[in-house]
């Protein structure tokens, strides 16, 4: 659409390549009217205080009205942040986003008494309420989930104190963010053309992908040497954040912060442990991939700064958006008629904001609310990666589309544990289609390299992160001191284990823990690896079994949070409580490694 260096203003992007945000609110004044209505609803909600469980009628009305309040708040905030993402320079949109976020906080405060009051109910009274008010059964799973965690919920007074401490408790994460994003500055190095370029968070990976090994080495050393200068501050902020999680787990009667985190989705510790065990049992495939990379790059020693540069040279795939769309459509045909109808609707009904414009938020995401289209933000630039991004975000959006069409609002979303499954399954189907149809040997190698890197960064690397997170938390919980030296030593050892004998694990990589924001997310990263493994398993079943697997998969997409994530996945054909899904994903990885070995 545009030349490589030309970035248009928002107004110059064709309407059909912009999302249909007007279908949410025609203008700001309509948003304001809905916002004022939500404020009034939040104020009126206080009338239920100390009466939530006084009768079956009251309990039903409280849950209904709370759902309505959150539903309108979600719609308002979704519009506000999407409007800001269109052009982050726009002052009115900034104000709208701030108001939307403020409303969320206010609604949370106004409804905070509901769960503690529900927890005062005994099971006999609850059963009586279901008989008296059959409509209340809609909320049974929701109430069961609240009651399931009863022993971990404190008194109303104690919960209030913990809530008030929220801002203070988030200080370590804020300190990390400010140091990492605002204060830390990296040196200037020479690029491929001998020009000065300052290393930044944004250009570090492109520099690591450089064909010039000296550039890669200079960027690698510049980044991690700088982090080393702040190692004690980074260690102190991470230590503070982990101690906060341990404190919260302890006061809520959990045995560990890991148990507390996983319990939110009713996921057992064995799922986490099985992931690490399965990856350990399949590290030989990773070692072989590193051997191939070393051979392909023609280096005597393979260093950590050699891991991101493409193995296959001189393949420059340019895929315009319309061409990328057709590729994605062809690849997703195995998902059947109902799925493809949703795909066609997505591309024809302006779900997607396609191109970059000045001021637009970077990256890509799937968004929207329960009452809107499942919108997609892209910044499309004619690359293979961008085609996979289209498939990925479309997977998220169609998951949301089916969930919202099928489930009532209370179950109209899905848990983080399954969030990456539908998106990654689409990527797997796209890769399968492209590998089956590619003719050129170099292009096939390029695709294999892309797929193997996806495995390396999403399954192996995220599992490595998960193991590091588990190790340092357990060390802290056992009374250990989380010093910078301990963190560096532990992180370097785990890299040596995961990358194997053919990789020189440079001393600088010992500081990588300091730049990973996910270590402040309290046992989040393992879900990337489990989600990817589940997606690979489901996509293989779809290709092998056809309609029975497709039917199960569509039901999975429609389930939302009507059941726990492990149960929803099991019904789709993947049991994440066993090692089988990860082991099967590893079999595919091993097969792809062998294929690349023959071609190089």
- Known catalytic residues? 393
Six-digit token string for 32 = 């304001």
> What gap in Å lies between CA 12 and CA 5, rounded to an integer?
15
Residue 394 · residue 346 · CB < 8 Å: yes
Helix axes 526-545, 461-477, angle to 10 degrees: 140
CA distances from 184 to 74, 200, 228, 284, 394 (A): 35, 10, 11, 38, 36
Look at residue 32 and give its three-state secondary structure.
Answer: helix
Helix (H, G, I), strand (E, B) or coil at 521: coil
DSSP-H helix ranges across 87-194? 91-110, 114-118, 123-132, 140-148, 156-164, 166-169, 171-177
- What Rg value do the Cα atoms of the chain yield, rounded? 25
Handedness of CA 14, 20, 23, 24 (dihedral sign): negative
Q: Facing residues of 197 across strands?
A: 189
Question: CA–CA distance from 267 to each of 175, 424, 555 (Å)?
Answer: 30, 21, 21
What is d(CA 250, CA 256) in angstroms, rounded to the nearest whole number? 7
Q: Any idea which residue has 């976020």 for tokens?
A: 101
- Which residues, at least 6 apart from 574, have a Cβ–Cβ distance to it below 8 Å? 534, 537, 538, 581
Read off φ and ψ for residue 503, nearest 5 degrees: -115, 130
CA angle 483, 489, 490 (to 5 degrees): 90
Asked whether the beta carbons of 332 and 351 are under 8 A apart, the reply is no
- How many of the other CB atoms lie within 10 Å of CB of 311? 20
Q: Answer yes or no: are the C-beta atoms of 517 and 565 closer than 8 Å.
A: no
Q: Is residue 87 within 8 Å of residue 360, measured between CB atoms? A: yes
- Side-chain-facing half-sphere of 343: CA atoms under 13 Å: 21
| CA–CA gap between residue 407 and residue 138 (Å, rounded) | 11
Residue with tokens 């809520």: 252
Q: Are 403 and 568 in contact (CB under 8 A)?
A: no
Element (H, E) at 455: helix 441-455
- Note whether 173 and 518 are within 8 A (CB): no
Nearest-angstrom CA–CA distance, 156 and 560: 30
Please give the span between the terminal C-alpha atoms of the chain, in angstroms, as a whole number.
35
Tell the residue number behind the tokens 């939110």, with chain if given: 264
Single out the residue of 394, 301, 296, 302 nearest to residue 339, CA to CA: 394
Rounded CA gap, 110 and 66, in Å?
A: 10
Residue 29, classified by CB atoms within 10 Å of its CB into exposed (0-12), middle (13-18) or buried (19+), is exposed
């Amino acid at each position: 659409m545009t030349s490589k260096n030309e970035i248009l203003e928002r107004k110059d992007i064709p309407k059909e390549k912009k999302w249909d945000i007007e279908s949410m609110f025609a203008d700001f004044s309509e948003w304001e009217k809905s916002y004022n209505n939500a404020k009034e609803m939040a104020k009126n909600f206080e009338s239920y205080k100390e009466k939530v469980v006084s009768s079956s009628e009251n309990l039903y009305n409280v849950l209904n009205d709370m759902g309505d309040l959150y539903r309108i708040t979600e719609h308002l905030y979704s519009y506000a942040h999407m409007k800001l993402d269109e052009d982050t320079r726009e002052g009115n949109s900034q104000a709208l986003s701030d108001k939307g976020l403020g409303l969320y906080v206010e609604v949370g405060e106004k409804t905070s008494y509901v769960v503690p009051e529900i927890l005062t109910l005994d099971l006999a009274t609850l059963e009586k309420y279901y008989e008296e008010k059959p409509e209340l059964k809609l909320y049974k799973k929701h109430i069961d989930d609240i009651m399931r965690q009863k022993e971990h919920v404190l008194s109303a007074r104690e919960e209030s104190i913990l809530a008030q401490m929220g801002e203070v408790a988030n200080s370590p994460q804020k300190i990390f963010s400010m140091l990492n994003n605002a204060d830390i500055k990296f040196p200037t190095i020479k690029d491929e053309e001998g020009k000065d370029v300052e290393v930044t968070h944004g250009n570090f990976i492109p520099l690591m992908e450089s064909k010039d090994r000296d550039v890669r080495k200079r960027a690698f050393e510049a980044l991690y040497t700088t982090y080393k200068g702040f190692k004690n501050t980074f260690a102190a902020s991470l230590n503070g954040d982990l101690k906060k999680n341990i404190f919260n787990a302890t006061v809520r009667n959990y045995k560990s912060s890991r148990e507390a985190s996983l319990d939110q989705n009713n996921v057992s510790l064995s799922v986490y442990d099985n992931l690490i065990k399965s990856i350990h049992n399949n590290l030989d495939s990773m070692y072989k991939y590193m051997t191939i990379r070393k051979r392909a790059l023609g280096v005597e020693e393979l260093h950590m700064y050699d891991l991101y540069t493409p193995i296959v040279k001189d393949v420059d795939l340019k895929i315009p958006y319309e061409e990328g769309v057709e590729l994605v459509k062809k690849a997703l045909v195995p998902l059947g008629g109902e799925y493809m109808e949703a795909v066609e609707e997505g591309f024809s009904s302006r779900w997607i904001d396609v191109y970059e414009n000045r001021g637009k938020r970077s990256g890509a995401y799937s968004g929207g609310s329960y009452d809107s289209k499942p919108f997609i933000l892209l910044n499309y630039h004619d690359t293979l990666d961008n085609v996979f991004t289209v498939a990925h975000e479309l997977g998220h959006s169609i998951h949301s589309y089916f969930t919202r069409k099928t489930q009532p609002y209370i179950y109209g979303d899905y848990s983080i544990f399954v969030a990456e499954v539908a998106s990654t399954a689409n990527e797997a189907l796209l890769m399968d289609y492209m590998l089956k149809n590619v003719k050129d040997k170099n292009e096939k190698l390029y695709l294999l390299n892309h797929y193997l890197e996806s495995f390396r960064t999403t399954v192996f690397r995220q599992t490595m992160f998960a193991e590091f997170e588990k190790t340092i938390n357990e060390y802290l919980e056992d009374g250990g001191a989380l010093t910078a030296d301990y963190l560096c030593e532990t992180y370097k050892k785990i890299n040596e284990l995961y990358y194997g004998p053919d990789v020189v694990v440079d001393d600088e990589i010992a500081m990588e823990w300091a730049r990973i924001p996910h270590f402040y997310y309290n046992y989040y990263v393992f879900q990337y690896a489990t989600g990817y493994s589940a997606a690979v398993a489901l996509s293989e079943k779809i290709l092998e079994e056809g309609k029975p697997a497709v039917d199960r998969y569509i039901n999975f997409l429609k389930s939302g949070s009507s059941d726990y994530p492990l149960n929803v996945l099991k019904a789709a054909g993947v049991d994440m409580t066993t090692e089988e899904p990860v082991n099967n994903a590893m079999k595919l990885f091993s097969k792809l490694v062998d294929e690349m070995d023959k071609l190089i």
